[in-house]
Chain A
């Protein structure tokens, strides 16, 4: 079974600064997908960024980028130029490639507070 670990329960950052969230995972799979989801106080789950394990290039999405280290099984999220609207819970998630009905395994989450 896969496990996803987010070691930082909570982080705070000043507006316009950068924050990096860590995520490590354990799997014996070679092909898989990794995701970062954002859950603001409204509690809707919003997909932030997605990474395919077979791609070496790190995914980026505007102010959000990842540092994917496959050998180390690490998948950190960097939020640049933090905005007040970035305040939310952030969940790292793992999905096996092609099988098991696309089940997601979530980490425990990191609460991010952006301060003005």
Chain B
């Protein structure tokens, strides 16, 4: 149980385009999902907290207009990287919170984004 699916797993696109990444909780409802960014050989950096039916809460330094987050249902959150540039290339990971607070987060497999 507690499976989180992330799609796509790898995407390459041209500079200036927008890219959407999906995060789905397959067998549970997730009122809260999280989006992380991970540079090579570094730790995970929290970008934003996504709550179903409300606006996402962004961490300091993360551009809201650059990284659009939508959490329209209890099983789906999306991250859209708008007008992507090479410096946006990174590994993006989502996680979902199952049940009540104080429970562990369940992570997706991540999306490798490469902007040419």
Contact = CB atoms under 8 A, between A and B. Distances in A.
Interface of A: 33, 35, 37, 42-47, 50, 91, 95, 97-99, 101-109
Given A98-B101, A103-B34, A109-B42, A42 B109 contact: yes
B49 A101 contact: yes
Closest 8 CB pairs of A and B: A45-B107, A106-B43, A44-B109, A101-B49, A108-B43, A106-B44, A43-B110, A109-B43
A44 B107 contact: yes
A97 B102 contact: yes
A100 to B, nearest CB: 9
A104 B109 contact: no
Nearest to A6: B43
A46 B34 CA distance: 15
Interface string B19-47: 00000000000001010000000111010
A104 B46 contact: yes
Given A45-B107, A103-B49, 11 more contacts: A37-B107, A43-B91, A43-B110, A47-B104, A91-B43, A91-B44, A97-B102, A101-B51, A102-B103, A104-B105, A108-B42
B89 to A, nearest CB: 15
Given A43-B91, A44-B110, A45-B95, A102 B44 contact: no
Contacts of A102: 32, 97, 101-103, 105
Interface of B: 32, 34, 42-44, 46, 49, 51, 57, 91, 93, 95, 97, 101-105, 107-110
6 contacts: A43-B93, A44-B109, A91-B44, A98-B102, A104-B46, A108-B42
A44 B91 CA distance: 11
Contacts of B107: 37, 44-46
A108 B32 CA distance: 24
A46 B93 CA distance: 12
A50 B43 CA distance: 19
A102 B46 CA distance: 12
